[in-house]
Amino acid sequence: MSTLVDAAPAATTATPRRSRLTAAKRRQYGAAYALVLPFFVIFVAMVIVPLVYAGYLSLYKTRLIGGTSFVGLQNYADALKDPLFLSGVGRMAIFLVVQVPIMIALALFFALALDSGMMKLAKFSRLAIFVPYAVPGVVATLMWGYLYGPDFGPFAQITTALGLPPPLFFTQNGMLFSIMNIVNWEFIGYNMIIIYAALRSLPSELYEAARVDGASEPRVAWSIKIPAVRPALLLTVIFSVIGTFQLFNEPKLMYTLAPNVIGTAYTPNLYAYNVAFVNQDANYAAVLAFLLGIVIMIVSYIVQLSSQRVERRS
């Protein structure tokens, strides 16, 4: 904030010609600050202050005997050796490598199919694919949980009728894929709409010539449209990275269906929640939240960098 105070007098000490503008300029500065201020009051109170407070908490440790004491970065060192935290991050890394590419690829394919003008019922399809985004994550997980479930889920009913063993949705290995499916169902449409909106705003001259020359629609899509919407793709990937590492609703609700598989630390966010509210250890929860934020920033940064490299090469 000090830059604001410092910079204003600097402007007034400039050349005489400029100082004549000062009255109008000042009014404009005043208006700009007045317009920005309400947002920044909330922003500082709800983002910056909690962030700083979490940083402060993370440097302390509360023991049952001896009370709270300053431990420096010891908590971070502990967290980086904590198998529960690391296994959660590892699980999310698998999620990132498997689920996000499937989601973005399908979203891109659907967007291209809708944009190609080659299919009937395009508007209906677009709405139907997008509609799960309107369903709260809790309800989506409840629905899929019942669908997967052994009690009255249709999949279990079918396998039982056919005399097959029950489906493996809630097993140690199956659970991650069950959750991936829920997340895909919820967010493919959302990502599709982002990409589709970008495709619709491309000027048609960009590919009409290629079409006149007889290029097939898949060829036009691959060579012209996909490179042109790369910024939108980058946006969807970065949002997916942020979303993946914050996964909470799905494992939290799946816990009631398969407590032994989910446990307390299935995702880093679920772990932080349990540390804060079950173990009542606010300091360690702050450390986990901070580390999670750092992991997300690093991965997002890598995604941006690698995308810039691809852009430069082409």
Partner 1 sequence: MSDAIPGSHRPAVVAAEGFPVLVQSGHEAAQAQRRPARKPRSWLLTVFMLICVGYFLFPLFWLVVASTKSNDDLFSSFGLWFANFNLLENIQTVLTLQDGVFIRWALNSLIYAVVSAVGASFLATAAGYAFAKYRFPGGTALFSITLGAIMIPLAALTVPTYLLFAKAGLTDTYWAIILPSLATPFGVFLMRVYAADAVDDALIEAGRVDGVGELRIFFTIALRLLLPGSVTVLLFTLVATWNNYFLPLIMLNSADKFPLPVGLAQWQSAAGAGGGAQALFSTVITGSLLAIIPLVIAFLFLQRYWQSGLATGGVKA
Residues 186-205, interacting with partner 1 (CB under 8 A): 188-189, 193-198, 200-204
- Are 267 and 88 in contact by the 8 Å Cβ rule? The answer is yes
141-178 burial code (b ≥16 CB/10 A, e <16): beebbebbbeeebeebeeeeeeeeeebebbeeeebbeb
95 binds partner 1 (CB under 8 A): no
Q: Residue 176 or 195: which CB sits closer to partner 1? A: 195
Candidates 79-87, 94-102, 146-154, 162-170 — which segment interacts with partner 1 by CB under 8 A? 146-154
Q: Select the residue interacting with partner 1 from 138, 168, 209, 310 (CB under 8 A).
A: 138
Q: Does 168 bind partner 1 (CB under 8 A)?
A: no
For the bound state, the minimum distance from the C-beta of residue 64 to partner 1, rounded and expressed in Å, comes to 19
156's CB contacts (< 8 A; 6+ apart) are 149, 150, 166, 167
Minimal distance, residue 85 CB to partner 1, in Å: 13
CB of 56 to partner 1, least distance (A): 9
Considering the rule CB under 8 A, would residue 132 count as an interface residue with partner 1?
yes
Report in angstroms how near the CB of residue 88 gets to partner 1 at its nearest. Answer: 13
Residues 6+ apart with CB under 8 A from 111: 192, 193, 195, 196, 199
Instruction: Indicate the DSSP class of residue 214.
Output: T
Please state the closest distance from residue 270 (CB atom) to partner 1, in A.
10
Binding flag, residue 74, partner 1 (CB under 8 A): no
118 binds partner 1 (CB under 8 A): yes
Cβ nearer to partner 1, comparing 36 with 73:
36
Q: From the list 20, 297, 306, 311, which residue makes contact with partner 1 (rule: CB under 8 A)?
A: 297
Judge contact between 244 and 221, C-beta under 8 A.
no
Contact range with partner 1 by CB under 8 A, out of 5-13, 14-22, 59-67, 76-84:
5-13
Q: Is 63 exposed, middle or buried (0-12, 13-18, 19+ CB in 10 A)?
A: exposed
User: Is 53 one of the binding residues for partner 1 (CB under 8 A)?
Assistant: yes
Contacts to partner 1 from residues 205-264, by CB under 8 A: 231-232, 234-236, 238, 242, 245-246, 248-249, 252-253, 256-257
> Is the Cα torsion angle 161, 165, 168, 172 positive or negative in sign?
positive
Closest CA to 271 of 134, 28, 79, 51: 79
HSE-up (13 A, CA, CB side) for residue 274: 17
